[in-house]
Structure 1
Amino acid sequence: MLRSWYAAPVGSRFSFTDEALANLRVYDVTSGEVWEALHGTHRVIRHLGEDLTVVYAANRRGRRLAVLLAEADGTDHDWDVLSARELSDVEAKRYDEAVRRTRR
């Protein structure tokens, strides 16, 4: 079953398939945490290829996540969440440094 959420300010839609939700459970991440991270003010976006992107961001409680997204059927602003997990210590340090640089 496909579950979608819309983000009015950015015009993007994020969908969670049953498989994606299962991947989130493996890493003890909720869809709500992913939603908060994707719409947070401090995101670091890294394009992994033509249709794959990873977003490093924090949820409201400060938990830092890596969210893997795939562009849905080549449609602009439609993304499928593939998985999400907590950042490793090294990734968290790099994320914090990137966020600090953008605040200056």
Structure 2
Amino acid sequence: MEAVLLSIHLIVAIALVGVILMQRSEGGALGIGGGPAGMMTARSAADLLTKTTRWLAVIFLVNSLALGWLAANREGDETIVEQAQEQNDEGDGPKLPELPTIPDGDGR
């Protein structure tokens, strides 16, 4: 499940970058747009790209939240600290270093 969501996330991210770069900027640098004789006018192309960007952004956000939820609720995976504490309690492997303490008295 996680691999499928990661694949979708990658595809959506690449598509989102591509659609954003195709939009007409303030200076019109990378904007697409045909003449009035073309299939789409510049205005309809801009509307289509705006709607596409909006939906890709929504999919990207929902997918990001789903991946975060899956990572937070993963069962069976322990943190490195928990694994080290279990090894220390069992006596297997190297021992964890002792924490330094503050000396009692005048502390010289």
Rg larger in 1 or in 2?
Answer: 2
TM bin (shorter chain): under 0.3
Larger helix percent: 2
TM-score, L = length of structure 1: 0.23
Between Structure 1 and Structure 2, the one with more strand by share is 1
Which protein, 1 or 2, shows the higher relative CO under an 8 Å CA cutoff with sep ≥ 6? 1
